[in-house]
């Protein structure tokens, strides 16, 4: 299985990651993970395609940006005590949606999950490598969320409230996988 992660950090700070090995069972090295930073969403998608050598199917991707909205505010953000959408920079919001749309156009069967790297930092201990910057690190954490989604890990779950049909997903079906225990 191969998954990707993305962290839209603004111009020339768009982090990307390709993850080739199970991050939950093994210590990961530079051979298992490819990371980089690029200019924007489309160049990040292109970097992933180049890393995959155009021959490999990408099963899932995690994106560190809001991928769905609820009219009364996002319940998950209240649960996580996260920043409100209005506090995020517009470019990061839009770039997250753009990379998601570009991935779906390139890999029609891909599954996407929103990711929240600040709640996943305990998984960094599995990576035996240095990060070029925080955007590469956060892209790798987003890739871990994608791996959990594809594997349907028992200690993780999709946090989008399925009983609430007042959800707007502007790029189609997405998920939001996080560990069950967020403490």
Q: Domains in the chain, ordered, with CATH?
A: 3-179 (3.30.420)
pTM: 0.88
Compute CA distances 71 → 15, 80, 132, whole Å: 29, 18, 38
Compute CA distances 48 → 3, 35, 129, whole Å: 10, 9, 19
Which alpha helices (H) appear in the chain, and where do they start and end? Answer: 41-51, 75-80, 90-106, 134-151
Please write the tens of the pLDDT for every residue from 121-154.
888 776 767 788 999 999 999 999 999 999 999 9
As given in the structure block, the two tokens for residue 111 are: 């599954």
| pLDDT band, residue 163 (cuts 50/70/90) | low
């Amino acid at each position: 299985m191969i998954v990707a992660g993305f962290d839209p950090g603004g111009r020339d700070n768009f982090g990307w990651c390709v993850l080739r090995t199970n991050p939950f069972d093994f210590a990961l090295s530079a051979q298992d993970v490819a990371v980089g930073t690029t200019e924007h969403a489309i160049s990040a998608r292109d970097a992933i395609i180049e890393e995959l050598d155009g021959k490999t199917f990408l099963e899932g991707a995690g994106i560190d940006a809001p991928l769905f909205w609820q009219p009364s505010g996002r319940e998950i953000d209240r649960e996580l005590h996260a920043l409100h959408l209005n506090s995020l920079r517009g470019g990061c919001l839009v770039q997250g949606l753009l990379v998601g749309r570009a991935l779906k156009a390139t890999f029609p069967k891909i599954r996407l999950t929103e990711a929240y790297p600040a709640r996943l930092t305990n998984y960094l201990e599995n990576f035996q490598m240095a990060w070029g910057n925080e955007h590469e690190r956060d892209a790798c954490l987003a890739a871990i969320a994608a791996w959990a989604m594809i594997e349907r890990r028992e200690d993780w779950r999709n946090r989008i409230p399925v009983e609430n049909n007042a959800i707007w997903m502007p790029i189609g079906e997405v998920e939001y996988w996080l560990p069950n225990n967020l403490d």
